[in-house]
Structure 1
Amino acid sequence: MKTISIVKSCAILICTASAFIVQAQQALEPYKPNPAEMSIAYQRAGVLDSLVRRIEVNNNISPVWQADQKSFWYKKNLAEKKWKYMYVNATEGMRKNAFDHQRIAEALQKATGNNYDAEQLKLTKLFFNGAADEITVKTGDQWFRIDLRTYQCLKTADTLKDIYNSNKPLQAAHSRWESIPDAGKSPDGKKELYLKEGNVFVKKLAEREDEQLSFDGTTAKPYGAFSWSPDSKTLFGYRISPEKIKEVYYVLSSVPGTTRGQLKSNEYAQPGDAFTSYAPVAFDLATKKQTKVDAEEIDFFGAPELHWRQDNNQYCIYEKVDRGHQRFRVIEADLKSGKTRNIIDERAATFIYENRIYTHYLPATNEMIWSSEKDGYRHLYLVNTLTGKQYPITKGNWVVREIDSVDIAKREIWFRASGINAGEDPYFMHAYRIGFDGKKQIDMTPEKGNHILSFSSDREYYLDTYSQVNVAPVSVLKRTADTKIILELEHGTTSGFLAAGVKLPEVFVSKARDGKTDIWGIVCRPSKMDEHKAYPVIEYIYAGPQDSFVPKKFLPYSEMQSMAELGFIVVQIDGMGTANRSKAFHDVCWKNLADAGFADRILWMKAMAKQYQNADISRVGIYGTSAGGQNSTGALLFHPEFYKAAVSACGCHDNRIDKQWWNEQWMGYPVGPHYEEQSNITNAAKLQGNLLLIVGEADENVPPESTFRLADALIKANKDFDFLCVPGMGHSDGGVYGRRRKRDFFIRNLLYAEPPQRNTAIPARSTGR
């Protein structure tokens, strides 16, 4: 009984404290600047915008590894937009200035006759010799060899090539939209495939004979997308039923030198549009027999990449994603019989995120590595392609984010993941390696923070830069074998930003709509905030389900902070329905893009206002571009009780008008009534609050008509709104002009103030005749 009394007492105290906080917020006077204060705020924001560009920051070091694979150089950023070159020898654990920058500038000036600033040397290429006492550089379009002992500079020829790009992914992701080119010569070099009037022909090069393999192809329904088996005995391809992709149109109104608008069009598949389909077939070159493969036509994406059984070229493997993204298969085809079997057959009640499906084939051992969210988080599995048996490699309540590489010899996978380390932001990226058997998982980046890695070409060393949104980056050189730090390269500091008067962003966490899940975001406050005033809140939103968006690496200054300087508290949040958390967290978006995580966002801002008493959540604005443009308008349509003003740029206001591949992934296929029910255009009559629409007339990402149709619906509903169409602009937030108009809009509608008048200056009268 005593314990219950204590709990009740605590509950009463919490309720009392919450009520006190609300009362305290209500007691604060709303910040409503007068014209002079508004002008000062604009000036301060402009000064900070300029100052921060001159402060030293090294968020990401790009090493240029040399031929010895043990040394590299990098550019170190300095204050005032200057830089210098650093040289590192990993074997010796040595870091130094790459050369005497003043003497290099003098040597190049003498050789070229051009002026060179020692603190802003523009070397487009730079290579060291083995002893690091001579460099070969390219400046402009000229090459020079410079002896670092004497600084003698001699012209030379371009005889050096880039050695290694450490920022290039070792294994680039394969897009299923990529078309497979028709095979030419057979692997044995004896035959050559060609297509004629829709049919398949093979030329025997030695005999100079042509053999026709198909006879029912036509130009309207041709054969194509063929691949040779490695033993040159079989051709695998498709009977194709082409579908032309429809076009969307836009008009360029203001092309210089013209007096008429220019009509433009581009191919643009929208949800529900038909796609070219592919019926798989095989041809036996010895018998000329055509075999129809017993499998469904591929009516989504193009012809898939083939993977041949190394021990028996009678069999090949391909992948099939069903339209609607609820089924993914890895299919093996027997090209003699035409029979198929499913090695993997994954089905989902919601969606399978196609772009995050990872497959890596190991034909020598009849295995493959595959990623799936079937256990609730994205993890890796080792699959026996002969039996279809699956063995988990990674597991746990965390997410495999990227696969860096696969070491077949050591049977190891190198990958990036988030959410493993307790007590830190679950979005922080860390790097690991693990055996195919799921054992010996090694954390290569144990330090707290968000990590960016790059490796030497032989993978003996790696650079690790880690930071947090308000913690400056540290860059270290590590040895791969034992993950030990060899050398600290750079250790950033926030002092320059703080001295300039920058208010660093702050991390805030609160519970989601389920009362359990943490929702993460950041808060940007004015650097000159009056603690006795209450400031409107503006949310920067992008709720696209393809990723998460709140910044995690060092971000001392951004557009959000620049806007905050005008008298706002600006926030960014990742709500439910975005990626990089559990499958359940992500599934909220399924056929439900209008949700946009608003329930979590509103709870987050209410919780934030209890901690930050200067946050006035009776005056909340929101802005975003593209999917964020859809979301920000949706805030006023579906949550007008909370959001009062919105700026929406290039929004996909109806998911039927937007691109097919993105919208069917989240809204499903076929196109059902939920598309219309969630459309901003359909719901335009619900508008409350103040809305500014921005669109570029030349947007090829989201058709401009999406915004124009919304404007049309708002006009027909007799709604007031502001509209800015930027001539010649593509997919953008409006550029410099649009961003200024966005700020002015929020100043009028949330601060109830007037921005500086820009049309008062009278232009000088021309005296020309």
Structure 2
Amino acid sequence: MKAQPRPLGFLRSLSWSTPILALGMALTIAFCAVPDSLAGQHADAVMPAHHPDVGTDNSVFGANFQLAGRWAPYKARELVHSTSVSPRWIGGTDRFWYQWEDSDGRFFRIVDPARGTKREIFDRDRIAAELTRIMRDPFDAKHLPITSFSFIDDNTIQFTLTGTQDVEVEEEEEEEVEEEQEQEEEQSRPPRPRTEKEKFHFEYDVQTQTLRRLEDYEEPRSHPGWASVSPDSSMVVYTKQCNLYMMGWDAYLEIVEARHKKTGEKADSAEMKIEVEETQLTEDGERDYCYGSSGAGRGRTVDQWDEQWKKRQSAGVIWSHDSHYFAMTRRDMREVKDLWVVHVAGNERPKLETYKYAMAGDSAVDQTELLVYDTEAREMRKIEDEGWQDQSMGIWSDPTPYGDRYAARSGEDNEPRVRRWWSPNTELYFYRASRDLHRIDIMRADPATGEVEVLVEERLNTYQEQQQPRRMANGDFVWWSERDGWAHLYLYDADGNLKARLTEGPWHVDGVLDIDETRGLVFFRANNREEGEDPYYFHTYRVGLDGSGLTLLNPGDHNHMSSMSESARYFVDNYSRVNTVPASTLFDANGRRVLDLEEADFSALEAAGYQYPEPYMVKAADGITDIHGVMYKPFDFDPAKKYPIVAYVYPGPQTESVAKSWSGSPYEVGLAQMGFIVITIGNRGGHPDRSKWYHNYSYGNLRDYGLADKKAGIEQLADRHSFIDVNRVGIYGHSGGGFMSTAAMLVYPDFFKAAVSSSGNHDNSVYNRWWSETHHGVKEETDDEGNVTFEYDIDKNQEVAGNLKGNLLLTTGDVDNNVHHAGTFRVAEALIRANKRFDFFVFPGQRHGYGNMGNYWFWLRAEYFAQHLLADDRKAVDIMELNNEQEKSGGR
């Protein structure tokens, strides 16, 4: 017999004060029907109850909280060590080092590709003994305290470790005390020496494996993040109180010296105490119309704004190679409307955070200006670009050199990072894009005259993606475009003339990895080209600059993620599938396997009973398009049982959130152990890494476009597998997935029986303009007088709230400044007005991702599905799995 609703006055069932252990308080508003059984006394023992939706006897079983507790995300992570090699390229060489961890501890290894060798950097037993002798703290080979280090030349590294003993340190000058009484009290107190844990500085010779302590170590001076240093190191540009300032190198070094050996607020305080000569370059900067990024629409409380206003900030400038000019974009957000969140937790009084937030269809949106400053003439020039209303612009800069550059030796200063613009001459290259992204142009400007010209035009009737082109020494550049319905590469000269099409066909180029100009080769990552593979699996390819000689460099039916050396002669390839052990291999640029580097150690994982998930393919609702997904079964899986199926969804269009490499997928794995078949599944319109048709299937239908494919895929899986109960279907997701999971309950209310929807953008008219207008579309209208307006219209979840039949839990963070909780509240209001019962949960003090309440969130979601798909209601106030974990971890 179905449980009868109890009166809403039954406050215990509404859980107004459910504790979140050490994580704070959460407000729960339950609009669901409350069974009589919930009014009983709390107990941990749970008896599975019969539910009308539960079919035959083999589908009647309770949730396995014990198994789920063993495989909760925070537990499963403890069983996994390193799964990929992240090469740290040394200097300008092809050598690299990396850190690797397995059940035998942490290792540091160095690889010489030219020799095909890999060896340990440290003799672990030897260095453990040396460190124990010097630091007088015990270490062994499996538990070395070293976590990172820096190469200071080809063969020497330095690192710093912290001991357990306190030592006295030199007192820093304190702030001046203004009040005479305070001064007298300070003088009367006996001096108290300041102490900190002793630091040990070491230098290690990689060849001889000898370690020595640096007794007279002097920490290299570092550069503050606000400093935009010119290439000739004569000028430093920054913003202060929203205006541009400049100082000379000598003045800047005074600040570097003042900040030396300090961090955070102490470094900032020391910097602000000294007076240096600086030149104010602009006077018209103001909040929300700043030079640089110091105040452009950022969310801050009043005291946060006041504090930041006093400090120097990064101007984000990009320099010409000869230091004659620097360029920047300036955003005018003064007319953009404000949005707010209130910080109710963690403060004596609630604090208001205000930020600029343009919503879809707004007439007042941020305006971008492109500025160039002539350092010799001391003149700022605005690049007048008569493009499109509300257009966006961006400057292209030289790629930042990657790899582990040699660090400074003891007593030396680190080199400042310098951002140079794309062209080595004075020409400035940038892009402009229309508000609807139907039009994107590559542009070139003369900073001396301000003249601009269009080099390459891209046009499409839906939105377009763009990547920064890769420039070569002769001025030619490789451009990525989707102009024929697939993402491919094109070679242009410096004036925008097409020289060659480099790739073509029904497959997708993800991006350029590197260019070997000497050999005339482009290296790139691509997918959907190899027959018989998942179309999302990446591989590394090369092609000639004339479009000839296309070559696959790392074959194998896995997803391959590669990192190339700066010389483009070698690359490290990390590869796996969701159902294979990750491995890493070193290849050369011809595709020759040089060295097998590592294979992940899954011994602890497998010993604990881990089972790999299963990739699958179904057809979309059109019966034609292939849709890919992954299935996660409980580790005590019984094929004779009938399991509810729960889909974790994200609609895209940026990604479908379907794993391709092994990543552990701890949330899906943990939930499956409760007694569910958990799946991830794609949908047309969900991912950019297929055809443009597939990617843009969602255009103009952002609420409903993926739902039919999800439903069709689940039905096919149920037909294929007798252990799936298609009458008990759950769905959950976060952000766009929160939007989609609620929409599923409202558009297909007879199919989806329970949903947990977190922080969803349920009403995209109150979500951020860029995402909503880009992926749904905005209509540009021009009247007879040439005035341009933009119209935006989209289906919203609250419009179909009256269709709800199943069980829906909505959650949000109360200070989410990404997907504002207004969308969630609007759905709640519509459900109330439609006289629907549902559940609503607020995470206090949390942004979009729920931060340190993630573990609580995992169990809240798991228990909700257990209640509504397994008829397994927990009655205890405490979440015992979290209590037990906190006891084991000492209350953390």
TM-score scaled to structure 1, two decimals?
0.78
Partner residue, 2:340: 249
The answer to whether the 8 A contact 1:279-1:296 is kept is no
1:261 aligns with 2:378: no
Partner residue, 1:491: 599
Partner residue, 1:473: 582
Correspondence for 1:693 among 810, 816, 834 = 810
Partner residue, 2:467: 357
The answer to whether the 8 A contact 1:291-1:335 is kept is no
1:633 aligns with 2:691: no
**Following TM superposition, by how much is the alpha carbon of 1:662 offset from its aligned partner in structure 2, in angstroms?**
1.3
* Aligned mates of 1:555, 1:404 — CA distance in 2: 23
Partner residue, 1:142: 200
Change beyond 3 A, Cα 1:391–1:690: same
**One-letter amino acid matched to 1:715:** I
Alignment of 1:42-57 (within 5 A): 42-49=65-72, 52-57=76-81
The answer to whether the 8 A contact 1:182-1:227 is kept is no
* Aligned mates of 1:515, 1:606 — CA distance in 2: 12
Correspondence for 1:586 among 679, 682, 695 = 695
Unpaired runs of 5+ residues, structure 2, are 1-52, 163-198, 222-238, 248-278, 286-314, 399-420, 781-788, 884-892
Once the two structures are superposed, what CA deviation does each residue of 1:108-165 show, in whole Å capped at 9, x if it has no partner? 1221122324212121333679897x76433234222357868665335658999xxx
The answer to whether the 8 A contact 1:28-1:532 is kept is no
The answer to whether the 8 A contact 2:127-2:211 is kept is no
* Aligned mates of 2:388, 2:317 — CA distance in 1: 15
Alignment of 1:102-501 (within 5 A): 102-126=125-149, 136-140=158-162, 141-145=199-203, 153-156=212-215, 194-195=281-282, 243-256=334-347, 258=348, 260-273=349-362, 274-277=364-367, 295-296=386-387, 299-302=390-393, 304=395, 317-332=429-444, 342-353=454-465, 356-362=466-472, 365=474, 367-386=476-495, 388-389=497-498, 391-480=500-589, 482-492=590-600, 496-501=604-609
Stretch moving more, 741-750 or 244-253: 244-253
* Aligned mates of 1:526, 1:238 — CA distance in 2: 52
Once the two structures are superposed, what CA deviation does each residue of 1:526-568 show, in whole Å capped at 9, x if it has no partner? 1112222210000001112123421111134521111111110
Alignment of 1:735-754 (within 5 A): 735-754=854-873
**Following TM superposition, by how much is the alpha carbon of 1:496 offset from its aligned partner in structure 2, in angstroms?**
4.6
Change beyond 3 A, Cα 1:262–1:232: closer
* Aligned mates of 2:812, 2:79 — CA distance in 1: 34
**3-state SS in 2 of match to 1:472:** coil
The answer to whether the 8 A contact 1:694-1:738 is kept is no
* Aligned mates of 1:715, 1:485 — CA distance in 2: 63
Change beyond 3 A, Cα 1:641–1:673: farther
Aligned residues: 678
Partner residue, 1:33: 61
The answer to whether the 8 A contact 2:777-2:792 is kept is no
**3-state SS in 1 of match to 2:711:** helix
Correspondence for 1:83 among 103, 106, 115 = 106
* Aligned mates of 1:235, 1:502 — CA distance in 2: 55
**Following TM superposition, by how much is the alpha carbon of 1:731 offset from its aligned partner in structure 2, in angstroms?**
0.8
**One-letter amino acid matched to 1:125:** S
**Following TM superposition, by how much is the alpha carbon of 1:420 offset from its aligned partner in structure 2, in angstroms?**
1.4
* Aligned mates of 1:264, 1:110 — CA distance in 2: 53
Change beyond 3 A, Cα 1:108–1:590: same
Partner residue, 2:623: 515
* Aligned mates of 2:425, 2:77 — CA distance in 1: 61
Partner residue, 2:683: 575
**Following TM superposition, by how much is the alpha carbon of 1:91 offset from its aligned partner in structure 2, in angstroms?**
3.6
The answer to whether the 8 A contact 1:637-1:687 is kept is yes
* Aligned mates of 1:282, 1:121 — CA distance in 2: 51
* Aligned mates of 2:691, 2:371 — CA distance in 1: 40
* Aligned mates of 1:330, 1:749 — CA distance in 2: 54
**3-state SS in 1 of match to 2:717:** helix
**Following TM superposition, by how much is the alpha carbon of 1:276 offset from its aligned partner in structure 2, in angstroms?**
4.2
* Aligned mates of 1:251, 1:238 — CA distance in 2: 31
Correspondence for 1:560 among 668, 678, 700 = 668
* Aligned mates of 2:57, 2:745 — CA distance in 1: 26
**One-letter amino acid matched to 2:201:** W
* Aligned mates of 1:96, 1:331 — CA distance in 2: 49
The answer to whether the 8 A contact 1:702-1:731 is kept is yes
Change beyond 3 A, Cα 1:107–1:726: same
The answer to whether the 8 A contact 1:51-1:500 is kept is no
Change beyond 3 A, Cα 1:544–1:156: farther
* Aligned mates of 2:750, 2:790 — CA distance in 1: 26
**One-letter amino acid matched to 2:344:** S
Change beyond 3 A, Cα 1:28–1:445: farther
The answer to whether the 8 A contact 1:449-1:468 is kept is yes
**One-letter amino acid matched to 2:456:** I
Partner residue, 1:649: 758
Partner residue, 2:414: none
* Aligned mates of 1:760, 1:385 — CA distance in 2: 63
Change beyond 3 A, Cα 1:747–1:295: same
Partner residue, 2:831: 714
**3-state SS in 2 of match to 1:471:** coil
Change beyond 3 A, Cα 1:560–1:337: closer
**Following TM superposition, by how much is the alpha carbon of 1:280 offset from its aligned partner in structure 2, in angstroms?**
7.8
**One-letter amino acid matched to 1:344:** V
**One-letter amino acid matched to 2:862:** R
**Following TM superposition, by how much is the alpha carbon of 1:473 offset from its aligned partner in structure 2, in angstroms?**
1.4
Partner residue, 2:640: 532
**Following TM superposition, by how much is the alpha carbon of 1:229 offset from its aligned partner in structure 2, in angstroms?**
8.5
**3-state SS in 2 of match to 1:682:** helix
The answer to whether the 8 A contact 1:505-1:556 is kept is no
Unpaired runs of 5+ residues, structure 1, are 1-24, 163-178, 186-191, 199-223, 764-769
* Aligned mates of 1:410, 1:182 — CA distance in 2: 44
* Aligned mates of 1:63, 1:437 — CA distance in 2: 31
* Aligned mates of 1:548, 1:586 — CA distance in 2: 11
* Aligned mates of 1:291, 1:95 — CA distance in 2: 54
Partner residue, 2:659: 551
**One-letter amino acid matched to 2:833:** K
* Aligned mates of 1:159, 1:405 — CA distance in 2: 38
**One-letter amino acid matched to 1:154:** R
**Following TM superposition, by how much is the alpha carbon of 1:571 offset from its aligned partner in structure 2, in angstroms?**
0.1
* Aligned mates of 2:385, 2:453 — CA distance in 1: 9
1:69 aligns with 2:93: yes
Change beyond 3 A, Cα 1:240–1:573: closer
Stretch moving more, 497-506 or 150-159: 150-159
* Aligned mates of 1:369, 1:685 — CA distance in 2: 52
**3-state SS in 1 of match to 2:766:** coil
Alignment of 1:638-677 (within 5 A): 638-670=747-779, 677=794
**One-letter amino acid matched to 1:138:** T
Stretch moving more, 603-612 or 742-751: 603-612
The answer to whether the 8 A contact 2:361-2:790 is kept is no
Once the two structures are superposed, what CA deviation does each residue of 1:401-423 show, in whole Å capped at 9, x if it has no partner? 12223344444322111111111
Change beyond 3 A, Cα 1:298–1:305: farther
Once the two structures are superposed, what CA deviation does each residue of 1:729-754 show, in whole Å capped at 9, x if it has no partner? 11125511122111111011111122
The answer to whether the 8 A contact 2:515-2:568 is kept is no
The answer to whether the 8 A contact 1:240-1:276 is kept is yes
The answer to whether the 8 A contact 1:591-1:668 is kept is yes
* Aligned mates of 2:654, 2:67 — CA distance in 1: 36
**3-state SS in 1 of match to 2:642:** strand
**Following TM superposition, by how much is the alpha carbon of 1:375 offset from its aligned partner in structure 2, in angstroms?**
0.9
* Aligned mates of 1:54, 1:144 — CA distance in 2: 31
Change beyond 3 A, Cα 1:346–1:118: same
